[in-house]
Amino acid sequence: MRVLVVEDDHDLAEVVVEGLTDTGMAVDMADDGLVAVAKLDLAPYDVVVLDRDLPGLHGDVLCQQITERPDRPMVLMLTAASAPGDRVSGLTLGADDYLAKPFHFPELILRIQALARRRPDARPRILRVGGIELDPVRRTVFRDGRRLALSVKEFALLAELLQASPGFLSAETLLEKVWDENADQFTNTVAVTVGRVRRKLGDPPAITTLPGVGYRVT
C-alpha cells in the first residue's frame, strides 16, 4: 500500500511517516499543497492523509481536486479542526474519513487500512490464493496452515501480488507500491525481495516470473 502524508508540521509528519512505514506501508511526505499535487501526478497512491491548513494550496482545495481524479486515492483528513461542523464540512468536500488531532496512532493505522479496502478495486481484507492466506490487519501469513515469518517489505510485496492475482505486476509497479519515492529505480531490490519471499513460501513454487512482464502468485 502506498500512502501520501500531507502535513506542514514537520515533526508530526515525520512521526506519522515513520509509524506507517513500520507497518509495511510505502509512505511519501509533502509539507505543502502544491508539492502534494506534484507527487500525486507522479505516483499511484492508495490513501492520502491530509491536513487542512496547508501552505501553497489549502487542504480543502486539494481534497476537492483529489476527488476529481479518475483513479483517485482515498482521503483521510487528519486535522486539529475537531468540532462536529468541521467534520461535516471536511466530509462534504469529498474526504472519505476524518480524524482529529491529537489521535491514537493504532486508530490511524486501522482507518488507513479500512480506507484502502474501500477502494473500488480493493480485494477482501483476508487475501487467499491457492494455499496462501494473508491478513493485513493481524499481519499474518500462512501457506497450507504453516505460518511464515516475513519482513515488513516481504509482507507488503506478497500482499500486492496476492491482490493482483491472477494478473502480473511488473518490477516497476511493485517498486511504486511497496517502496517510497526514495527507492532506486535501477537496483535489483524487487528481484531480491521476490526471491526471499519465494524461498520462504517453499515448494511447490508459488511465484511465477515472466521475463519482461513481471511476477504473479499462482
Reading the block at residue 131, the C-alpha cell is 494455499
Q: Which residue has the cell 473500488?
A: 120
CA distance 199 to 195: 6
Angle at 69 between CA 155 and CA 21, to 5 degrees: 25
> Tens digit of pLDDT for each residue in 28-43?
999 999 999 999 998 8
Domain coordinates in residue numbering, the chain: 2-118, 127-217
**Amino acid 204: pLDDT:** 93
Q: Which CATH architecture has domain 127-217?
A: Orthogonal Bundle (1.10)
Letter string b/e over residues 14-23, b meaning 16 or more CB atoms within 10 A of that residue's CB: eebbeebeeb
The domain made up of 2-118 has a fold known as Rossmann fold (3.40.50)
User: Over the range 163-176, which residues count as b (16 or more CB within 10 Å of their CB) and which as e?
Assistant: bbbeebbebebbbb
Question: Which helix (H) or strand (E) segment is 94 a member of?
Answer: none
**How many angstroms separate the Cα of 164 from the Cα of each of 129, 147, 177, 192?**
10, 22, 12, 20
Supply the pTM of this predicted model: 0.71
For each of the chain's 218 residues, which pLDDT tens digit applies? 899 999 999 999 999 999 999 998 999 999 999 999 999 998 889 999 999 889 999 999 999 999 888 888 999 998 876 666 777 777 888 899 999 888 999 999 999 999 988 876 666 678 999 899 999 878 899 999 999 999 999 999 999 999 999 999 999 999 988 988 877 776 799 999 999 999 999 999 999 999 989 999 98
Q: How far apart are CA 164 and CA 157, in angstroms?
A: 11
